[in-house]
Chain A
Amino acid sequence: MTAILFDGIVQGLQLSLLAVGITLIYGLGGVLNLAHGQFAVAGGVAAALLLQLGISPVLASLGGIASAGVLGLIVDRTLMLPAYRYRGEERLLLGLILTLGFSFIVDGTLNWKFPEFSLTFRLPVPLMDVAGIPMRTASLAASLIAVLTFAGLFAFLRLTLLGKSIRSIIENEVGAELCGIDPSRTRTLIVCLAAMMAGVAGVTQGLFSSLGTEMGPEFTILGLLVAVVGGVRSINGTLAAGILLGIVNAFASHYVGAYVAYIILLSFAMATILVRPAGLLARFT
């Protein structure tokens, strides 16, 4: 029982890590990024390529995360420009199609260049005891990384001026612009940051089991579900929703099987949109 709960929290942190980027890009850029999982996979593949060159795992991981960030930067400065010319629903629709197209390009390229390619890290100590429960060291390490990343993000958003300006744009883009904040530069920064967080999720997936080039769409969908349940504008909500859905998924997978678990997650997201469009936890955050 407790083991499943822990497992769910570990999974949930990974889901939050994926989803928070979608939330940030939606809140700040007004674009629902359907290529978010592909950022994670691209980061993981870059890390694996660096590993092959004989670079130490830690440096290779950092390199992979940085590559995801660079990819995000490029996407924001080139591909998304036509979408940013519009506002509101028009921008959302165009952004949705553009990122969907980009996700196909990334998937197609990766499957073509690196078929049957995967990223796996092996840790020296496979199991550790936590509160009497044997836990995989990899899970603990991945969770630690996720928690540290989130702590960094929250500190950045709460304590720095740049972070505050980012939150002001999420609140009201026009208002922020009137106060002298340049939304376009801040947006580039946030897309880059979101892509890097996806890269972290991609690299830590390599810690858990292995990251394959075909996992992009799955990552995108899971991230999207969590972002929707958390309320696509609330970062706290996304973190909470990720852990909640991780736990739900862990219990459902254990008791009723993977297919039904996935259906439960999807229905959860559908119901959230229909019943509480601002997010399941909108009232509490």
Chain B
Amino acid sequence: MRKCADIAALTLVLAFLPAAAGGSPYYLRLATLALVYMAWTVAFNLIFGHTKQLFLCLNALAGTAGYVAVVLAIQLKLSPWVTVPIGVAAAAGLGALFSYVSVLRGLGVIFLGIVTLAFSLIFHNLVLGLRQFTNGETGLVTRGLGFPLLERPVAGYYVFLAVLLAALLVYHLLMASKSGMAFRALSDDELTAELSGIDVTGYKVLAAAVGSAILGLTGALFAFYNGIVSPSVFSFVGVDIPVLIALLLGGMRTRLGPVLGAVAFALIEELVRPFGQLNVLVYGVLLIVLFTTFRQGLVPVLARASAAFRGTRAPAAASRPAREG
């Protein structure tokens, strides 16, 4: 049970956060947004951290699920309980497709990056172009579409907390099973993993599909929570870049890294908010500084610090250096 102590502590802290926020809607919304980014970063950790697939279309995957769920709910008058799973399936299918095609064609990290970046732009232009369904730049109002739970701030917070915990549970189950071993092997050396009989293609597609499903679920629910869905909600700079920074901050290939990274990122965002437009500049500086000097992330550093504090060596799993490849 010691293995899950960190998650239990995290759950406890997050469960009492709304009470600590003292009913301030502003801070509650910030906390909910942080939960959304945590779940997205957990997904990206699976896709990029563990299986080295550089998806630069996180916004498009989350947005596909969001738009599919909302547009179907409006056009066909379906309940979100039906449309959200359809949206999630669409995102998971797309993620799996990109992964499969990239393995099939032997695309390296960069070419997969370009293909997914192109998809991200196609998504953006499709949303703008299909005005009769998506209402273009203005977006669609999602309030009153049948998700009253998500329209109440505190309830919304707990829905996203549940999503995050579910994502962490899926992550834990994947990593604790045979697939976790495969992820570790193929992130060290793909060829060797393939030669030792690991189905590299299958596990890469699995990681991409599960990750995209988490991205999609969070994105679709966020579309309903947010009250409005527009291209700017799912923009490249608004989703992909923060998630990439949060993952690097927290530490790739660690269980708690995405969570801590997203919290750290949310704090940084809040600090630069008074300066308005400067956030893009800060993103740039963060990307460069993190990638050149802090590639391990917070979690390994904290694990080592706590081990030194206790005067023992950190457990091997926690201090496994997140060597980046």
Q: Choose from B126, B282, B287 the contact partner of A100 (Cβ within 8 Å).
A: B287
A266 engages B291 (CB within 8 Å): no
Nearest CB in chain A: distance from B139 CB, A:
16
Nearest CB in chain A: distance from B61 CB, A:
16
Q: Which of B58-115 contact A (CB under 8 A)?
A: 101, 105, 107-111, 113-115
Interface residue A198 (Cβ < 8 Å from any Cβ of B): no
Interface residue A260 (Cβ < 8 Å from any Cβ of B): yes
B129 engages A270 (CB within 8 Å): no
Contacts of B287 in A (CB 8 A): 97-98, 100-101, 104
A270 engages B281 (CB within 8 Å): no
Q: Choose from B115, B119, B129, B280 the contact partner of A107 (Cβ within 8 Å).
A: B280
A202 to B110, CA, bound (A): 26
A93 engages B110 (CB within 8 Å): yes
1/0 contact string of B116-129 vs chain A (CB within 8 Å)? 01110110011011
Nearest CB in chain A: distance from B151 CB, A:
32
B278 engages A112 (CB within 8 Å): yes
Interface residue A116 (Cβ < 8 Å from any Cβ of B): no
Q: Choose from A32, A102, A224, A269 the contact partner of B288 (Cβ within 8 Å).
A: A102
Interface residue B284 (Cβ < 8 Å from any Cβ of A): yes
Number of A residues whose C-beta is below 8 Å from B?
A: 40
Interface residue A90 (Cβ < 8 Å from any Cβ of B): yes
A105 engages B121 (CB within 8 Å): no
Contacts of B291 in A (CB 8 A): 94, 97-98, 101
B110 engages A105 (CB within 8 Å): no
Q: Which residue of A lies closest to B106 (CB)?
A: A277
Nearest CB in chain A: distance from B103 CB, A:
12
Given that A108-B281, A112-B281, A263-B129 are known contacts, is A92 also in contact with B109, CB under 8 Å in the complex? yes
Q: Choose from A94, A96, A104, A269 the contact partner of B118 (Cβ within 8 Å).
A: A269
Interface residue A191 (Cβ < 8 Å from any Cβ of B): no
1/0 contact string of A185-201 vs chain B (CB within 8 Å)? 00000000000000000
Given that A93-B109, A98-B292, A274-B101 are known contacts, is A262 also in contact with B125, CB under 8 Å in the complex? yes
A61 to B66, CA, bound (A): 46
Q: Which of A225-272 contact B (CB under 8 A)?
A: 225, 228, 257, 259-260, 262-263, 266-267, 269-270
A259 engages B113 (CB within 8 Å): no
1/0 contact string of A9-48 vs chain B (CB within 8 Å)? 0000000000000000000000010000000000000000
Q: Which residue of B lies closest to A105 (CB)?
A: B284
Given that A89-B109, A101-B288, A262-B125 are known contacts, is A269 also in contact with B280, CB under 8 Å in the complex? no
Contacts of A74 in B (CB 8 A): none
B114 engages A263 (CB within 8 Å): no
Q: Which residue of B lies closest to A224 (CB)?
A: B114
Contacts of A224 in B (CB 8 A): 114, 117
Tell me which of A79, A90, A109, A273 has the highest count of chain B C-beta atoms within 10 A of its own C-beta: A273
Q: Which residue of B lies closest to A227 (CB)?
A: B114
Interface residue B19 (Cβ < 8 Å from any Cβ of A): no
A270 to B251, CA, bound (A): 31
B281 engages A266 (CB within 8 Å): no
A109 to B109, CA, bound (A): 29
Nearest CB in chain A: distance from B219 CB, A:
21
Q: Which residue of B lies closest to A115 (CB)?
A: B277
A115 to B277, CA, bound (A): 10
Q: Which residue of B lies closest to A97 (CB)?
A: B291
B118 engages A92 (CB within 8 Å): no
Q: Which residue of B lies closest to A94 (CB)?
A: B291
Q: Which of A74-131 contact B (CB under 8 A)?
A: 79, 82, 89-90, 92-94, 96-98, 100-109, 111-112, 115
A262 engages B281 (CB within 8 Å): no
A104 engages B284 (CB within 8 Å): yes
Nearest CB in chain B: distance from A243 CB, A:
20
Contacts of A273 in B (CB 8 A): 105, 107, 111, 114-115
B284 engages A93 (CB within 8 Å): no
Given that A82-B292, A260-B129, A263-B125 are known contacts, is A108 also in contact with B282, CB under 8 Å in the complex? yes
Interface residues in chain A, defined as those with a beta carbon under 8 Å from any beta carbon in chain B:
32, 79, 82, 89-90, 92-94, 96-98, 100-109, 111-112, 115, 221, 224-225, 228, 257, 259-260, 262-263, 266-267, 269-270, 273-274, 277
Would you list the 6 A-B pairs with minimal beta carbon distance, nearest first? A108-B281, A104-B284, A101-B287, A259-B129, A105-B284, A101-B288
Q: Give 7 CB contacts A-B under 8 Å.
A: A94-B291, A105-B281, A112-B278, A112-B281, A228-B114, A257-B129, A277-B107
Interface residues in chain B, defined as those with a beta carbon under 8 Å from any beta carbon in chain A:
54, 101, 105, 107-111, 113-115, 117-119, 121-122, 125-126, 128-129, 241, 244, 277-288, 291-292, 325
Extra contacts, 15 of them, besides A108-B279, A270-B119, A277-B107 (Cβ < 8 A), are A32-B110, A97-B288, A101-B291, A106-B284, A107-B284, A112-B277, A221-B117, A263-B122, A263-B125, A263-B129, A266-B118, A266-B125, A273-B105, A273-B107, A274-B105
